[in-house]
Amino acid sequence: MAANFILQPAGFLDVPPFGSSRIFGKLISSRFFCNASHHKFNPVIASICNASAVDPTPSHSISHGSSTESTLILIRHGESMWNEKNLFTGCCDVPLTRRGVEEAIEAGKRISYIPVDMIFTSGLIRAKMTAMLAMTQHHQKKVPIIMHNESEQATTWSQVYSETTIKQSIPVITTWQLNERMYGELQGLNKKETAERYGKEQVHEWRRSYDIQPPKGESLEMCLRRAVTYFKEFIEPQLQSGKHVMVAAHANSLRSIIMYLDKMTSQEVTNLELSTGIPLLYIYKDGRFSSRGSPVGPTEAGVYAYTESLAVYRQQLDEMSH
């Protein structure tokens, strides 16, 4: 008899404000109640992240004229071991392949001159690996630290007591709301064999339609509700405050976010394909998001249409390294 693995998200999501004048790891949680049936998150205590845990210069609050612009980097994880085997992965937690590791490192080279103050990832290891590996290539030379506040003990044990170390660190927030679509009874099945069994049209409908669920799984619309709700309530406020954010997640959670950013229709998003390990860059300015390039083919690092402010930031990093 086959074993059943069930993802059971918690009813409460703790999201910490980052940084402390004394201790990086001593977090005062903002608690948000999750109504799973409506995918609605309501703040009970306070909003996320009033203070930055990173050195405010030179990356924090890039000004352009009279406005402040923030950068948003979206990265789909590198190739996973189940991508390699052509299996439906969904919320199953499998790591990267060697190729996936190389893709993550290459992604890091592509964004090595783009400021990063905060990182959000899904709760799955392939997204977390991608973010960590990518940051090994960044010229900012700051260390990403995954925040643990799942319990009082976890918070206490992960405290950092050095102000210098705090300034050299980037907080990393992991959340199940950015997880891949839950593919239900398709998870672990070979995609080619599934198409032969159910028909190519049926499988294509399960994979690419907007509101049709695979057996006991999520539709893209359902994935969008949780991913975009989280983005709007927790990530977008960071961009509004001038912080620069990287999000490492999955094909469908990122398709959902891009649908929101680019104001795509439900029909348009079904045709959106995202390559593994290719970072997408957005600029947030005056309440609007604008895409700054979508490098699919080139392998060189400088593939983005930099703004004037990003060009200045890159020059500053180069000067600091010499």
233 is in an annotated binding site: no
How far is Cα 109 from Cα 104, in angstroms, rounded to an integer?
9
Asked whether the predicted pLDDT for residue 298 surpasses 90, the reply is no
Active site (catalytic) residues: 77, 180
Asked whether the predicted pLDDT for residue 210 surpasses 80, the reply is yes
How far is Cα 126 from Cα 77, in angstroms, rounded to an integer?
6
Residue 172 is given by DSSP the state: E
Element holding 64 (H helix, E strand): strand 62-64
Q: Which tokens go with 12?
A: 């409460």
Which class would CATH give 65-321? alpha beta
Q: Which residues contact 72 (CB under 8 A, 6 or more apart)?
A: 239, 244, 245, 246, 247, 261, 281, 282, 283, 284, 289
Q: What per-residue confidence (pLDDT) applies to 24?
A: 45
How far is Cα 227 from Cα 39, in angstroms, rounded to an integer?
9
29 is in an annotated binding site: no
Asked whether the predicted pLDDT for residue 318 surpasses 80, the reply is yes
90 is in an annotated binding site: yes
3-state secondary structure of 289: strand
pLDDT, tens digit (0-9, with 9 covering 90-100), for 166-202: 999 999 999 999 999 999 999 999 999 999 999 999 9
80 is in an annotated binding site: yes
Cis peptide before 214 (omega within 30 of 0): no
Mean pLDDT value of segment 256-269:
94
192 is in an annotated binding site: no
Q: What per-residue confidence (pLDDT) applies to 310?
A: 84
How far is Cα 242 from Cα 237, in angstroms, rounded to an integer?
9
Domain boundary assignment for the chain: 65-321
Q: What per-residue confidence (pLDDT) applies to 196?
A: 96
37 is in an annotated binding site: no
pLDDT, tens digit (0-9, with 9 covering 90-100), for 68-105: 899 999 999 999 999 999 999 999 999 999 999 999 99
Element holding 149 (H helix, E strand): none
* Dihedral sign of CA atoms 76, 78, 84, 90 in order: negative
pLDDT band at residue 294 under the 50/70/90 scheme: low
Asked whether the predicted pLDDT for residue 301 surpasses 90, the reply is no
